[in-house]
Amino acid sequence: MTIAPEQNEAMRSNFDLIGRQDVVDYDAIFSLVGHEEENGIHQTPNNCPTTFTWDYTKGARPALDKLYEKSKKAQWNGQTDLPWHLDVDVEKLAWEAYTEDQSGFFNADLSGTVVEKWGAKEWVQFGIENQNWSLSQFMHGEQGALVCTAKIVETVPWIDAKYYAAQQVADEARHVEVFSKYLNEKMNGHYQLNGHLGLLLDDIINDSNWDMTYLGMQVMVEGLALAAFGFAHQMTTEPLLKQLLRYVMADEARHVAFGILSLQEYYAGLTQAELRTRQEFAFEAAVRMNDRLASQEVWEKMGVPQKDAVKLLTQATDRKDFQVLLFSKIVPNCKKLGLLDAGDGWLRQKFTELGAIAFEDWQDTTLDEDAMAESSPMERGLV
């Protein structure tokens, strides 16, 4: 939640920002499990005013105009440009993950937990549920991006940004469409929205500052998603999902670049107090996204008590490494925006505590090949 700069003399504590002092507090993390409203509808207030502009000069912001023109050439059809005819054997894929120890828990001490008695059948089911959960969160996140980008069209004051955001709305609709189709036709439906991701989406939409939508969604949520898609694309052997993810990644790189190109100009004119608020928001978003990776909903469905799940999670060092890797896009992008070292470098300290500061000199997304591609994923032969 944003506070006025004059109220923000000093950085707020972890408790003020995320409701707890310890970032890794599994009791707090597991206390929030996502659910779906009975009527299938979730509503959240939108406190940012709609902004019209009477300056219709196209190209006044050349970098945004260039991105908009490239996006016109990079479109693809989710119904006809993916090999939906392919069969997907989810049990086979989960078995492969099981035999290759992709669960990350085989070397953990399972004694005294319900998982101790699991055999191949249970681990394969866990793999199926985990993939379903992951893809479901991708889908929910894409709907969040759809809503937030539509909000950017309404609230951003520059016509070049409105043009590009309108193009991205179509991208996000396509992403929701293809993930939903995959989950419903190739898997077994979807999981509910993770509670921590839901809180973050509500916070982004609730904020009264138009740039917070950019920061929360374009830079933070989509930055983490871009890294997660890349990891999933690398790990899966399923050809339909692999191609789907690669096509979505091509779009996402443009989306994150859009956020950086827009915010660079705006943040250059903010006061230190205003930048502090953005630093705090970025940290809060990072923690919320990290919290969701505990996949509380999967453990609950598999009948694993919280104490057992926590015992496994605290031992799974490779999963921790994976979680840190997901920040590989976020940290260099925050550095490019000047947020990492603004003021006293508080955000640098926080990313250091999260173990993610090593990514600060990685390539930012504006330099990503996908962000500036001149043609569609099909024309480029992406798989």
Residue by residue, DSSP assigns 40-103 as S-------SPP---S---TTSSHHHHHHHHHHHHT---TTTSS-TTS---HHHHHHHHHHTTTT
Sign, CA dihedral 370-373-376-380, equals negative
Buried b (16+ CB within 10 A) or exposed e, 49-67: eeeeeeeeeeeebebbbeb
Average pLDDT along the chain: 92
Per-residue confidence at 217, pLDDT binned at 50, 70, 90? very high
- Mean pLDDT for 222-232 is 93
pLDDT of 205 higher than 90? yes
Per-residue confidence at 4, pLDDT binned at 50, 70, 90? very low
What token pair was written down for 360?
């600060």
CA-to-CA dists, residue 144 to 49, 203, 238, 382, angstroms? 19, 11, 26, 26
What token pair was written down for 300?
């609950």
pLDDT of 3 higher than 50? no
CA distance between the termini of the chain: 40
Buried b (16+ CB within 10 A) or exposed e, 355-369: ebbebbeeebbbebe
- Mean pLDDT for 8-34 is 85
The conformation of residue 157, written as its DSSP 8-state character, comes to S
- Spatial separation of the C-alpha atoms in residues 332 and 254, rounded to whole Å: 16
- Mean pLDDT for 215-234 is 94
Window from 50-54, 318-322, 343-347 with minimum mean pLDDT = 318-322
Domains, the chain, in order of start with CATH, read 82-380 (1.20.1260.10)
Residue type, 144: G
- Mean pLDDT for 222-230 is 94
254 and 71 Cβ atoms separated by less than 8 Å: yes
Window from 98-107, 289-298, 355-364 with minimum mean pLDDT = 98-107
Strand blocks (E) in 80-231? none
pLDDT of 7 higher than 70? no
- Spatial separation of the C-alpha atoms in residues 122 and 128, rounded to whole Å: 10
Per-residue confidence at 296, pLDDT binned at 50, 70, 90? very high
Per-residue confidence at 103, pLDDT binned at 50, 70, 90? low
**How high is the pLDDT of residue 2?**
45
Considering the entire predicted model, what is its pTM? 0.93
